Amino acid sequence: MQTSPDGSTRRAPGSALSIAERLRSASERPAPAETVGALIVIAVELDACDSVGVVGAVGAPSGRAVAPALATDDLAADADRAQCERADGPSLAAMRSGRPVIAVDLDADPAWADACAPAPVGALLAVPLDPGNPLGALTLYSRAPRDFSDEDRALAETLAAHVCVALRHGDAIDTLRRAVDSRTVIGQAQGILMERHRITAADAFAALVRCSQNRNVKLAVLAQELTATGTVDGLATALGRLSPGATPGA
């Protein structure tokens, strides 16, 4: 363990071997969203930050906007979303300039603090995914002021490079966002069924899958229908088959 300048206790940075193993494991994931998700959590696991977010450019080059792509938790998600809505902030600055942006104490940097508000960010380190191309940025967030070390910066840049490889196709950010949005709405639909019928997450997911197959409708579309209307044709039957104790009427 080691003590950071803000007085908090941190683990010493992981060895090159452990980081390499984590990177290799992340790169073996079958889908870009899973790869990026496994990559960004490495920084949190190694105590380089509290939260990590990725933003990326979407749309044609002539009319590109920047949108949140993936985050480890609500802190990064909220900070990324705030910046993208304002079209300004440290993450976007790193993406556009091709250079890292570091703020060790946002209380002393009101411009960046306002850009990330209302997320409770104390410090951040934003690095471009590709210094030569405004593809996106990866940002390490800390809830408290933090003097990011050379090791933290090296880790952030390494992760950004691997995220860039995972998103090397031009439409990858859009694909990633759709995958994340799909998982979110499916999770919301699961939660509705779990609360309504007192069933497990596995049973709720299985019922959604069976219903989507029976109706030949994509799972995310079915989940969106349930979250929007509270009911889905054929779901009661699927619930009855998978969970005999479930109450019909979905």
* pLDDT-derived band at 246, boundaries 50, 70, 90: very low
Torsion sign over Cα 112, 114, 128, 28? positive
Is residue 28 scored above 90 in pLDDT?
no
Evaluate whether 116 touches 79 at the Cβ level (below 8 Å).
yes
- The residues with which 71 forms a beta bridge, in sequence order, are 53
| Residue 176's pLDDT band (cuts 50, 70, 90) | low
**DSSP assignment letter at 63:** G
Give the separation between CA 172 and CA 45, rounded to whole angstroms: 25
What's the whole-model pTM score?
0.66
Q: Tell whether the model's pLDDT for residue 185 goes beyond 90.
A: no
Structure confidence by residue, pLDDT tens digits, 67-105: 888 899 889 999 999 999 999 999 999 999 999 999 999
Residues 6+ apart with CB under 8 A from 7: none
Rounded Cα distance, 196 and 227, in Å: 12
Choose between 113 and 212: higher pLDDT: 113
State CA 243 to chain mean position distance.
32
Q: What is the Cα–Cα distance from 77 to 187, expressed in whole angstroms?
A: 17
Q: Quick one: what percent of the chain has pLDDT higher than 90?
A: 39
Burial of 199 (0-12, 13-18, 19+ CB in 10 A): buried
